[in-house]
Amino acid sequence: MQDLTSLQMVKSLVDAYSAQNASLRQKHVYEQTLLALVRLAKSEQFMEIKANVRKLTGPLPILKPRVPAQRTKLEVLAQLALPGLEEKEKVGAHGTPVRRRK
């Protein structure tokens, strides 16, 4: 048995529907309408699968990143990238050294 993709099926339906009595524009509109229906069916199927998975697993917790751990990693990476930095100089948000005022 031959495996047909949705595009091949749509083209065969367009050819079967509009043998000789349709213009090129009508064939194109019919083909695009069928392709839109295929996309809609795929998205509905995907949403149904997501809803079923949500029912089975329950709501997933929202994980928030720990700020102190990220800050420590950034300081370690900055020290590796710029080994000459002193304690008075810190790397700013844009990657440029920022000097603290006394």
Q: Give per-residue pLDDT as tens, 17-66.
A: 876 778 888 888 889 999 999 999 999 999 999 999 888 888 777 777 66
Question: Quick check: 92 and 98 in contact, CB under 8 A?
Answer: yes
Same domain, 34 and 77: no
> DSSP alpha helices (H): ranges in 1-87?
6-17, 24-57, 67-81
- pLDDT tens, 85-100? 655 455 555 555 556 5
pTM listed for this prediction: 0.50
Task: Supply the range of the domain harboring residue 18.
Answer: 6-57
Q: How many domains does the chain contain in total? A: 2
Q: Report phi then psi at 61, rounded to 5.
A: -70, 145
Tokens of 7: 């595009």
Question: In this structure, are 17 and 51 located in the same domain?
Answer: yes
